[in-house]
A and B are shown apart, each in its own frame.
Chain A
């Protein structure tokens, strides 16, 4: 009966229907219905997302999906952001580009995160894809402005060039001049990560003036304040804008020019940049503040009163990134002014200092949780917290989907009761039933993990540091969190037992990272040998794990599911626990 139905519709009709199905999950579901749907679907899939570039090989992807137009890849584990993954670990994009160059001549978009991109890769992209439109390099590294010059010179249809938070070797500001005079297609340009070297302002201005569709422009720190007005006047249609260094000697002509330029931008919704802010220049943006939905002040080292004033002008704010200079008072103002707030990130201005240098405590977060009914996503660095506050936050905001709390000093207890935060985080997972991402901190026992395993059924990503008492903690999480995809753990007393007892769980997850824990080399080997669908990799800079006793804990362990088998590009300090390789080790 099913078979007849499937064949009753011509392929073209099915294909047309499938074209309305964009989400990867749904596409995967479609392809699992029957063989003919699998075949039709694979020929018309245009976008693929590979959350771990080592989970599958480029060849496998190309063989299954021959007509792809957009590829998104992620490389290094998240903890690479905090220097826990040594240089040279991997995540090279070149093999992917090389194979796609031949297989996907009509590729339009490449989005990469935490990958090593070389100038050679960029040059290959520039010459291989005639209709290339979108390049997003998020937290990538390994390339220079020379590679960007190649992209600028060749990609006539480029619409989006976004280098967000990448580490670029800034050799010359002149790469911008490589966009030919005939090039007019830029829609989104983000060069905010580029270094202090001169950016060719005139090339930038010429580029901006000839791209009428430019909607998003994020400059780097090197672009001085007095150049901003001119750039804004060339692009009054901007929706998103990132300033350069927002500092200059206060001059009324510069100020009024700037204020005028901002007021011209009737569609501006998002602002960022603001390095080295001189508070006197902040009022220049007041005319756009009422429309602002997103404000990134995470580089703005201005004090609470100025921040408070600024935030009070922005009633439509949905997303705020700010330093702890905002203090509790600023967050209280935020809570009363910004009822549409959905995402809040508060970063530490002095993360390594011993004493707090801003009056930011748990009170600020409590205020926002109470005052902002739409708050879903929180990233909050602070130096003290209480279970009472966490329980209040949880009850105020059951709609939280992302909750990342970083109490700066490891193993800090509840400052009121001196107890661990098990109850507090327990309340979070119990009340926030749609919680997808959680980062823990402070003093925590195995109990918090029991709560998480019991309640956090939608949790997809969990980050743990300096927490727990025993393997039981890890066991609770692995056995209880049904939706868990990514688990990253550092400096916890978790060892072999929980890991081995829940080995099959690991095949249902994207990846597990454990560093400075108590997992033995022997257990890693066992996992590698018994679980062929997992790649178990030991990162150990002390030398071959085989040169130490089997019971010796490994420095770092990264386990991920893969259909591609162990990788071939491992550096000397990474060992695969896969069967073949372990023979080489002893």
Chain B
């Protein structure tokens, strides 16, 4: 996966991203969330996996264009609320590898000119996946239906994580138990909130994502 450059080019503004108003730039990964410390700061907002507050679009980090290229490895950076050590804590099942090498799915973001890929097998909960997506698309505020909290709208356009399942239907992320999601998800799309109206809402907020 090639590294992406810092700033979205104006030609790609077809999706209607209002740069001036929202100052949407892809911040360098090291800027607002320095590995474990930075994420831990954000982690303090997180209680349980069901109540993730995901408004990460920190638009204070502007104008990083011109500095070194963004090199966000695909999901290889552990999806963590703190620095994660391989094989610790020693729990089975979470760490189990599949005979299939991994479960890579493409992630598209409305209005962004590039796709990313994530390996769903790297995560164990929705919280971890969404954290990682936010890291990758750090300027976007991603709505998490698992949370009851109202999100801070200050930072701009809200995106809703959706996925295409095995049957070709587009569903809201968070709909089904985590493991079931991993197995049926074919690809992800961060859809603008305004466009996500027609999707099926989650039946009941799932309580079990972290333990699946």
Contact = CB atoms under 8 A, between A and B. Distances in A.
B3 interface: no
A102 interface: no
Given A81-B92, A347-B91, A408-B89, A353 B49 contact: yes
B116 to A, nearest CB: 22
A350 B97 contact: no
A354 B91 contact: no
A12 interface: no
A173 to B, nearest CB: 14
Nearest to B87: A82
A60 to B, nearest CB: 30
Contacts of A141: 97, 99
Interface stretch (B6-14, B18-26, B77-85, B132-140): B77-85
Interface in B181-212: 183, 207-208, 210-212
B89 A353 contact: no
Interface stretch (B27-35, B39-47, B57-65, B150-158): B39-47
A167 B96 contact: yes
B86 interface: yes
B82 A350 contact: no
A167 B211 CA distance: 18
B207 A352 contact: no
A144 B94 CA distance: 20
A301 B207 CA distance: 8
A348 interface: yes
A299 B91 CA distance: 13
Nearest to B97: A87
Contact of A196 (B81, B88, B183): B183
A351 B33 CA distance: 22
Nearest to A165: B92
A495 B127 CA distance: 39
A84 B88 CA distance: 10
B95 A83 contact: yes
A352 B83 CA distance: 9
A406 B177 contact: no
Given A83-B97, A276-B208, A354 B90 contact: no
A415 B86 CA distance: 25
Contacts of A81: 90, 92, 95
Contacts of B210: 301, 349-350, 353, 357
A410 B85 contact: yes
Interface of B: 40, 43-44, 46-49, 80-82, 84-100, 124-125, 128, 177, 179-180, 183, 207-208, 210-212
16 contacts: A81-B90, A82-B90, A82-B92, A83-B86, A139-B92, A167-B96, A169-B99, A195-B183, A221-B179, A276-B177, A350-B125, A352-B128, A353-B46, A353-B210, A357-B48, A406-B89
